[in-house]
Amino acid sequence: MRAAVVGLTATFRRAARWAPLRRVNASALTRAGVTRSPYPPIEPLDVGIADLATSEWPRFSAEGRVAVIDEAGKARTFAELSHDVSHIAGALSARGIGPGDVVAIVSPNHIDYGAVALAVLRLGAVLTPANPAYTQAEVRSQLEGSRARAVVAHPSTLERVLGAARELSAVHTVACTGSSADLPPFAVGAGVAALDDWRHGAALVTRTAACVRGSSLALLPYSSGTTGLPKGTMLSHANLTSNMQQFIAPEGRFIPDGAPVICPLPQYHIYAFTLAVLFMLWRGHPLVTSTRFELATFCRQVRAYRPARAYLVPPILLALVKSEETARVDWSSLQMITSAAAPLDAELERACALRLGCRVKQAWGMSELSPLGTWPADDAVRDSLVGSVGPPVPSTLVRVVELHSAESGEGEGDEQIVDVPHGAEGELLVSGPQVMLGYLDNAEATARTLVRAADGTTWLRTGDVARVDEGGFIWITDRAKELIKFKGFQVAPAELEAVLLTHPDVLDAAVIPLADAEGGEVPRAYVVLREAHSARAPRAEANAIVDWVAGRMAPHKRLRGGVKLTDKIPKSASGKILRRLVRDADRREEAALRHREHEQPDMA
């Protein structure tokens, strides 16, 4: 099996010149409302993702290539990474972790993040990455929901991880990045293992578990999907290997062999995980990373390592455009910047390209797609396509269908698919080998999201409103799903509403997105107070609720849009919050406020 994987990657290396992606008439790409990818199809693999990701490491090791570089300049070569994956897998195996067991990683970006991930996947175990900013309660929820048996933490998350693990009998192993000497005092005597001890231990596993197949569960990121609370998104080995192959035609073939790439995005997020941890390590590109994005660090790394590509999100592009620091950096090594995870405004896309003197494009995806759904090739990037997220990636179909009136309760559970006229807006549906298996222990959400058409094709309802132009390029125009995106991070209104309803003064609540220049969107809550609420003034009461929520949620979920007090939350007959009505009322109020401010006389 390994020989087959090596042979496949060798074929990719030897591939002759690719034909440039042409803007073709939609009739060549569409059929019965379905838009097909213009790229060559892929061949799905029945192998473990760790086999594919490490298949070229012997060559990279022999060449002395560097695999990962962090903000401190610490580096791991492919030879060191190969050693570490084998020994970390051995240590986990010695502690009873095997096929089907779930291992969580609760850490910011770290030089050993990829080694831990691939070690878990080599064992046939399932990796569930968690946001390192989660509170102890949020960590506990993901560990319990995923049925994790082991956790790898970072010194900055260890106290919360230990607190959560003590409440869960299933978690029997906790490790922390670094050495035994680096463990904080509270971890001493708590049975916490040091990852460096595992890296240098005697046990090792050098082959993927024989039982691993393409259909086996590999990754369990948590996503809010189109609505509701965060759910475990089940991604198979085939989902991930397919998505890695799908990345070659629109992107990978344009990156010079061995050229560094820079990605400061959090690796627990599916965008950075698949792209940086899996794809770049598979293709042998040194990954320049950092614990978190800081503008000065990013600029310093660009100066030092001269990356060929950068993978970013819109708030980072905005920071690059606004900062004077960027004028002191030579950006000439950057062939392309790709933005994803949140909508990129066309003006910002153009401004960043002008400011840095390099090309910028945007792609689209979601956790349920492993995550790539669309990606424009370099030779398709032009001014007339600014704002488009490109065509579907290889072996992927999309269609645009009529929106169901979910807010009014109409059409819920209706699996009929009605295509809109070509070029019209509607909900974007996607089908391809990268579409998730479903949501863990949530058949209802899975049935709402994965729809089987009459011809047997399974379609993923994305919750995004889009149109397809005459050349088969996709334009995301709105969002039908309830999800809020703050700096590319998911915020589920239902999760915030559930927390608000535990506040002693809150009778009812609805959370909506508020447009924000830097974050894209921030959550704002409309709250109905109980009759016997505190005697504080309305503004003081609202601010107190904002602070109360901030103490219970990760930073990106805080009510940065504030709290508005109201007498009633509009709901359908079935009790569903009519969020569109709340949003419309909020926009009218904001518009009226701006009008009053504009008419305010100048007293100077």
CA 205 from centroid of its chain's CA atoms: 29
What is the tens place of the pLDDT at every residue in 60-99? 999 999 999 999 999 999 999 999 999 999 999 999 999 9
What SS3 state is found at 201? coil
User: Would you state the structure tokens that stand for residue 580, as one six-digit string?
Assistant: 């569109």
**Any idea which of 173-187, 196-210, 283-297, 519-533 has the lowest mean pLDDT?**
519-533
- Direct distance between the N- and C-terminal alpha carbons of the chain, in angstroms, rounded to an integer: 78
Q: What would the CATH number be for the domain defined by 484-599? A: 3.30.300.30
User: Would you state the structure tokens that stand for residue 5, as one six-digit string?
Assistant: 């994987």
Name the DSSP class of 497. Answer: H
CB crowding 519-548: b at 16 or more within 10 Å, else e? bbbbbbbbbbbeeebeeeeeeebbeebbeb
At residue 372, what is the residue type?
A: L
* 72 neighbors 117 (Cβ within 8 angstroms): no
Q: Indicate the pLDDT class of residue 285, thresholds 50, 70 and 90.
A: very high
User: What's the CA gap between 194 and 278, in Å, rounded?
Assistant: 24
Q: What is the CA radius of gyration of the chain?
A: 24
Q: Indicate the pLDDT class of residue 571, thresholds 50, 70 and 90.
A: confident
| Better pLDDT: 580 or 257 | 257
pLDDT on residue 206:
94
490's CB contacts (< 8 A; 6+ apart) are 223, 224, 230, 483, 484
User: Would you state the structure tokens that stand for residue 403, as one six-digit string?
Assistant: 């929106």
What does pTM read for this prediction? 0.85
Phi, psi for residue 253 in degrees, rounded to 5: -70, -15
Q: Any idea how long the chain is?
A: 604
Please report, to the nearest 10 degrees, the dihedral formed by the alpha carbons of residues 515, 518, 521, 523 taken in order: -100
259's CB contacts (< 8 A; 6+ apart) are 285, 307, 308, 309
Quickly count: other Cβ atoms within 10 Å of residue 65's Cβ. 18
* 369 neighbors 340 (Cβ within 8 angstroms): no
* CA count, 13 A, side-chain hemisphere, 340: 25
Reply yes or no on whether the pLDDT at 405 is more than 60.
no
Choose the most confident range, by mean pLDDT, from 27-41, 301-315, 396-410: 301-315
Q: Indicate the pLDDT class of residue 404, thresholds 50, 70 and 90.
A: low
Among 476, 472, 375, residue whose Cα is nearest residue 422: 472
Among 489, 505, 488, 506, residue whose Cα is nearest residue 497: 506
**Any idea which of 199-208, 441-450, 576-585 has the lowest mean pLDDT?**
576-585
Choose the most confident range, by mean pLDDT, from 40-49, 227-236, 405-414: 40-49
DSSP string across 29-84: TEETTEEEPSSPPP----S-HHHHHTTTHHHHHHTT-EEEE-TTS-EEEHHHHHHH
User: Would you state the structure tokens that stand for residue 316, as one six-digit string?
Assistant: 């980072």
Give just the sign of the alpha carbon dihedral 270, 289, 515, 402: negative
Q: Is the peptide bond before 513 cis (omega within 30 degrees of 0)?
A: no
pLDDT on residue 5:
56
Name the DSSP class of 344. Answer: -
pLDDT on residue 573:
67
Mean pLDDT of the chain: 90
* 88 neighbors 195 (Cβ within 8 angstroms): yes
User: What's the CA gap between 310 and 316, in Å, rounded?
Assistant: 11
Reply yes or no on whether the pLDDT at 275 is more than 50.
yes
